[in-house]
Chains A and B, each alone.
Chain A
């Protein structure tokens, strides 16, 4: 697979913070693949480096223009027109170009945006879809762990535990599992309201 075009840009995540999006066009596929990078609020000490601009005059230093420019100006010229036979080869090439243990040279957000876009393209070309991409024919839908009450770093309340989740286990379909989940959530809301507590 050869990459024809790459374009990264700064977008906003669900919290209104800037994050990286990358669009990739592969030779012979007339359809762009996008990689969109999420961002955590409560982060582990040993996570790969999320590169932020640190310019206090622009979006509280949270801009990702450096990461975007690392994709468009530095990585893109190295990746375009090169033949990559697999997503492993593509990722490992970027990891070796970065050369740091925590992706601090280009930023994990820069590298991941490309990795995601390429993986989607590779899956599409080889298996038709991402959910088929590991070649396993015995597929099942994972059980969702649904977060119903937040505390800790995810809330302004005084609850010590960060998340309280419920799991619909033992249902024969996702449809039934989610219907039961809906009932539980509705009742939690009712209970909290009757006790004048906020959901």
Chain B
């Protein structure tokens, strides 16, 4: 699997890969980060689930180099901001993200700016619930 990703990255201008491996393949994550971590952003979504402890382990074991931030994966703003802060103090990029089931609220965009997230995922130029967040 890692070789497949390496191939794709050599062929195309890839910026990031999210959840490249299974959320419990911890050794695989360390391996892929060794191979591709200095070329692209390896983003942990299901791997970290915006969870402070999981992110801490990931930082120590060098699993991934970026984290997807989803408020409802952890369930409070406080814990979400703690995860972002832990990420940035360890040079992990935080990507604020919506969910596939969304509402008209654009709170995550404001929080992304407040907490200095360099990137945001909020769908595309379609559907008001997504466009409201751009």
B interface footprint on A147-173 (CB within 8 Å = 1, 0 otherwise): 110000010000000010101010000
A41–B45 Cα distance when bound, in Å, is: 13
B75 touches A41 (CB 8 A): no
Interface size on B, residues (CB 8 A): 53
Contact indicator B78/A144 (Cβ below 8 Å): no
On chain B, the residues within 8 Å of A154 by CB distance are 100
- For residue A41, give the distance in angstroms from its CB to the closest CB of chain B: 4
In the assembled complex, A28 has its CB within 8 A of some CB on chain B: no
Contacts of B123 in A (CB 8 A): 146-147
Give 1 or 0 for each of A29-54: 1 = CB within 8 Å of chain B CB. Answer: 00000101111111111111010000
CA distance A112 to B71 in the complex (A): 8
Q: Say whether, besides A47-B49, A92-B78, A146-B125, A37 and B72 are in contact (CB < 8 Å).
A: yes
**How many Å from the CB of A116 to the closest CB on chain B?**
6
Partner pick for A40 among B72, B119, B124, B127, CB 8 A cutoff: B72
In whole angstroms, what is the CA distance A74 to B65 when docked? 40
Main secondary structure of the interface of A (DSSP, over half): mixed
Mask, A111-123, CB within 8 Å of B = 1, is: 1100110111001
Q: Which residues does chain B contribute within 8 Å of A109, judged by CB atoms? A: 72, 75
Tell me how far the C-beta of A60 lies from the nearest C-beta in chain B, rounded to whole angstroms.
14
A128 vs chain B, min Cβ distance (A): 12
Q: Mark A1-35, 1 if CB is under 8 A from B, else 0.
A: 00000000001011101010100000000000010
Instruction: Give chain A residues whose Cβ lies under 8 Å from the Cβ of B70.
Output: 38, 40
Contact B107 A143 (CB under 8 A): no
Residues of A within 8 A of B45 (CB): 44
Contacts of B78 in A (CB 8 A): 87-88, 91-92, 115
Is B107 touching A40 in the complex (CB atoms < 8 A)?
A: no
Q: Which residues of A contact B77 (CB under 8 A)?
A: 87, 91, 115-116, 118-119
A40 to B34, CA, bound (A): 30
CB pair B102–A139 under 8 Å, yes or no, is no
CB of B98 within 8 A of CB of A38, answer yes
Interface assignment of A181: CB less than 8 Å from any CB of chain B: yes
Instruction: Write out the residue numbers on chain A whose beta carbons fall within 8 Å of the beta carbon of B104.
Output: 36
By the criterion CB–CB under 8 Å, are B103 and A112 in contact? Answer: no
A185 to B125, Cβ gap below 8 A? yes
Contacts known (A47-B49, A131-B114); A41 close to B100, Cβ less than 8 A:
yes
Could you say which residues of chain A place their CB within 8 Å of the CB of B76?
A: 91, 94-95, 111-112, 115
Residues of B within 8 A of A143 (CB): 118-120
> Judging by beta carbons under 8 Å apart, are B103 and A19 in contact?
yes
28 contacts between A and B (CB under 8 A): A17-B101, A19-B103, A34-B105, A36-B107, A38-B71, A38-B99, A38-B101, A39-B72, A40-B99, A42-B100, A45-B23, A45-B24, A48-B73, A87-B77, A88-B78, A91-B77, A95-B76, A112-B76, A120-B107, A131-B113, A134-B116, A139-B114, A139-B116, A142-B112, A143-B119, A144-B121, A147-B124, A167-B119
